Amino acid sequence: MAGKIAIVAEVNEKAIDRMYNEGRERGTPYLDIKTKTPEEAIRIAKEYAEKNEPVSIGVHCNATHLLKYMVDNNITPLVLTDQTSAHDMLYGYFPDNLTYEEAVELREKDPETYQKYSYNTVKRHVKLMLELQKRGSETFDYGNNIRTQAYKMGVENAYDFEGFVIKYIRGLFAVGKGPFRWVALSNDPQDIKTTDHYAKILFSDDQQLVNWITLADKYIPFEKGLPARVFWAGFWGRTAFGMLINKLIHDGKIKAPIIIGRDHLDGGSVASPFRETEGMKDGSDAISDYPVLNLMGNALSGATWVSLHGGGGVGVGYSIHAGQVILADGTQLAQEKLFRVLFWDPLSAVLRHDAAGYEKAQELVKQFKIPTENNDINSFDYLDFYNRTRQWVKEKTGIELFEPMKEYTMKLL
């Protein structure tokens, strides 16, 4: 999708086969080519690089085997990361001295020995990543806590490569951007395609978002379960799009209700010092007030359900996340709830980063005249923001949203 070459190591051959076959009938499989050895994968990658053509290559091996082959043969990838479930060294990570089948068997018979092998592997794994970083690879932790596991094993410089949030995402979190998901309860993919169409109209000024929706429609097949879509939208964008989806249901353009949620990879609903909140400017990485405040705000705003849970991505004990889901059913009441929830949810990210001293968040707070402890504003004109949202949707799409049911003023207490 990005027009580049990807080599992905996977120990479970059935998982490789699934990615190889998924979408192949429509000509856009997740995985283009599957191989048995790192040597074969590198050879194919070089062939495609010479032709300047993108390709995805799956190689049936442990990640350490692929990385060691690269180190030993002076091959330095442009970008390197790891997406094993390294936060769980028993069920999420595979030792490199066993086959997949041997590992599954040992895991049940002797979990203590299994974990010993896993920790020895993760030590080698991170050292290889550090070596490739030293040679020039853009190396980052994807938030699976692999650095922490290696650090426990004596790799003192395990944190020399940063987490992906610090490197690439923090600026998006600061303005309330994050994964926005929706699911069609009709089980009809056409409903998702309808939302795609209107998303590209509403966000026509955001070329990256429009690009993503176009590529997702082309390359990502709907799998088992209800059809769904995700994109990254921020403060105000989530609000407007959620309200628009609700009106499309009311007008009969979408056949059945849509549920709207998001990932726990989020800017305002998380305390996760090894991923989302790693290296905060004010040192507030582990302060868990923020997810609780996010949860309470969403509950009071009318979310369909909220949740508070631990361990997402990095393992239980290392994080706290608050989740929310809200139903769009085409009614005026649903629009009211959608406005409040999808206003507050990303706003909590903006407020969290404003308090931590991030300039992008502070600029947005100033632009929208949002009351915080860092300014002298003591109220927010909710009704004006509501009507500006309605105006934006109408100007971009021609669709008239419901009028507000009552007047609102938010005051800072």
Residue 314, pLDDT score: 77
C-alpha to C-alpha distances, 2 to 59, 136, 216, 368, nearest whole angstrom:
20, 21, 11, 34
Give the domain ranges of the chain.
Answer: 5-167, 169-411
- Residue % of the chain over a pLDDT of 90: 83
- 169-179 as b/e: b if 16+ CB within 10 A: bbebbbbbbbe
Confidence of residue 408 (pLDDT cuts 50, 70, 90): low
Residue 235, pLDDT score: 86
Q: Would you put residue 3 in left (φ > 0), alpha (ψ -120 to 50) or beta?
A: left
* 306 burial level (CB within 10 Å; 0-12, 13-18, 19+): buried
- Residue % of the chain over a pLDDT of 70: 98
- Per-residue pLDDT tens over the stretch 180-212: 999 999 999 999 999 999 999 999 999 999 999
**What tokens appear for 315 in the block?**
């393992």
Q: Does this chain's domain 5-167 share its CATH topology with 169-411?
A: no
Mean pLDDT of 53-67: 98
Residue 11, pLDDT score: 97
Residue 409, pLDDT score: 54
- Architecture of the structural domain at 5-167: 3-Layer(aba) Sandwich (3.40)
Mean pLDDT of 15-42: 94
Per-residue three-class SS string for the chain: CCCCEEEEEECCHHHHHHHHHCCCCCCCCCCCEEECCHHHHHHHHHHHHHHCCCEEEEEECCHHHHHHHHHHCCCCCCEECCCCCCCCCCCCCCCCCCCHHHHHHHHHHCHHHHHHHHHHHHHHHHHHHHHHHHCCCEECECCCCHHHHHHHCCCCCHHHCCEHHHHHHHHHHHCCCEEEEEEECCCCHHHHHHHHHHHHHHCCCCHHHHHHHHHHHHHCCCCCCCCEEEEEECCCHHHHHHHHHHHHHHCCCCCCCEEEEECCCCCCCEECCCCCCCCCCCCCCCCCHHHHHHHHHHHHHCCCEEEEEECCCCCCCCCEEEEEEEEECCCHHHHHHHHHHHHHHHHHHHHHHHHHCCHHHHHHHHHHCCCCCCCCCCEECHHHHHHHHHHHHHHHHCCCCCCCCCCCCEECC
Mean pLDDT of 232-259: 96
The letter for the amino acid at 265 is L
- Supply φ then ψ for residue 17, to 5 degrees: -60, -40
Please tell me the pTM assigned to this model: 0.91
Mean pLDDT of 286-297: 94
Pick the CATH number of 169-411 from 3.40.630.10, 3.40.1390.20, 3.30.2270.10, 3.40.1770.10: 3.40.1770.10
Is pLDDT of 343 > 70? yes
Mean pLDDT of 76-83: 96
Tell me which of 46-60, 249-263, 307-321 is least confident. 307-321
Mean pLDDT of 210-223: 92
C-alpha to C-alpha distances, 301 to 294, 326, 336, nearest whole angstrom:
10, 10, 9
Is pLDDT of 412 > 50? no
Average pLDDT for the chain: 94
Tell me which of 12-26, 129-143, 309-323, 365-379 is least confident. 309-323
